[in-house]
Amino acid sequence: MIDSVSITDAPDPRTATMLELSVSDGPNAREILENTMKVTRRAALSRAIAIVGSSAAGSLLRPESARAADDPAAKARMQNFLGVSEILTGISQIRLSPQRDPIDIKTTYLTLVTNRRPVVFERLLQKYGESRAISPDPKMIGAKLLDPSEPKVCYLARSIMLMWYLGVWYEPEDLQLAESTGSSPNFSVISPAAYTQAWVWRVAQAHPMGYSEWHFGYWHEDPPFKLENAILPEGTP
């Protein structure tokens, strides 16, 4: 159970932990979130500003109409992708993929990753399956996926993490290069829907620039919900 969340700025936006979660007895996925969420609020906002400037031109995908639900193999593949995503983001699968999901951003993301990095992504899913067979502990699985001894898988995992949180795509090689050189990695906005669905906003109880689902006047009220109401399954105590 998350008791509180505070957002801190850090000297190095690429390596500092943004969210300081006060966790009493919650699932280990929350710890993964704490350990792997490597972006500051300031960095997120500055990226969002850049995204606004490039949103129209930055779209990488056409809408994907194929539905995984119609094909058992595709459905299993989607489930594995969501399992990986839950481990990496700390956000419940039911939140990443609601039972009724008209926006269906998960299909956009799965298609993108599959097309961009088919071989490494297969290896990532394989590692996820192997790790889960050994232990269901999300912390252990997360450590395996982010194991630096296999950098291609590690940085693809980080790209997936950033994709869910920021709605943008970072090439894994760019992330790796940025870490070693201190440069700013390039990114592309995945789609207009991805821009609005970036999880950083709900985690921060905020909204992307130029788009809000909240009612008029929300800006002079306290945030209307707790963090766990956004990232844990509905009804979680």
Partner 1 sequence: MRKIWLVAVSILGAACCAILPISSAQSPPSGTTPPVKDLRTEVSAINPHEPHCNLTKQTLDVTSAQLTSGLPCTPTLIAPFDDIVNLQFGFDFYSWLTFIALNTPADGQNVIGRGPGAGGDSITKWEQYKQLPDVMLLPKGKPPAPQFEALPGSAPSDVAQHCGKRIEAGSLVIHLEAEDTYNQPFKSGPLIDQNGYNAYFVILMNEPMFRYILNNNLYSIKGQEAFKRRNEVDFGKFDREADEPKHAVDPNAPGIVNFPNGSADDDSPKHAESHTIGSIMIKASWKQLGPSDDPSKFHTNRAIIYTPGSADGTRPATCVAKTLGMVGFHIGHKTNGAHQWVWSTFEHVNNVPAQHDVDEHKISGQTRFNFYNPECNPSNCPANKTPPRPWDPATQPFPGGFRSQITRVIPITPSVANLNSAFRAILTNTVWENYMLVSTQWPSLQVCAQKAIPSTLPDPTCAPAPTYLANTTLETYSQGNVPLASSSCIACHGNATTHHKPATPSDFTFILEKAH
Which lies closer to partner 1 via its Cβ, residue 25 or residue 216?
216
Residues 63-122, interacting with partner 1 (CB under 8 A): 98-103
Residue count of the chain, please give it. 237
Token reading at 24: 């009493």
Residue 202 binds partner 1 (CB under 8 A)? yes
Long-range pairs, 77-82, Cβ under 8 A, ≥24:
77/110, 77/125, 78/106, 78/107, 78/110, 80/125, 80/128, 80/129, 81/106, 81/109, 81/110, 81/113, 81/125, 82/106
Residue 25 binds partner 1 (CB under 8 A)? no
* Shortest Å, Cβ 195 to partner 1: 7
Residues 175-194, interacting with partner 1 (CB under 8 A): 192-193
* Shortest Å, Cβ 10 to partner 1: 26
Cα dihedral 11/14/19/20 (nearest 10): -50
Which lies closer to partner 1 via its Cβ, residue 69 or residue 133?
69
Strand locations in 46-186, DSSP E?
Answer: 168-169
Cα dihedral 209/212/218/224 (nearest 10): -110
Which lies closer to partner 1 via its Cβ, residue 173 or residue 228?
228
Binding mask 205-224 for partner 1 (x = CB under 8 A): -----xx-xxxxxx-xxx-x
- Point out which residues bind partner 1 (CB under 8 A): 98-103, 192-193, 195-196, 202, 210-211, 213-218, 220-222, 224-226, 229-230, 234
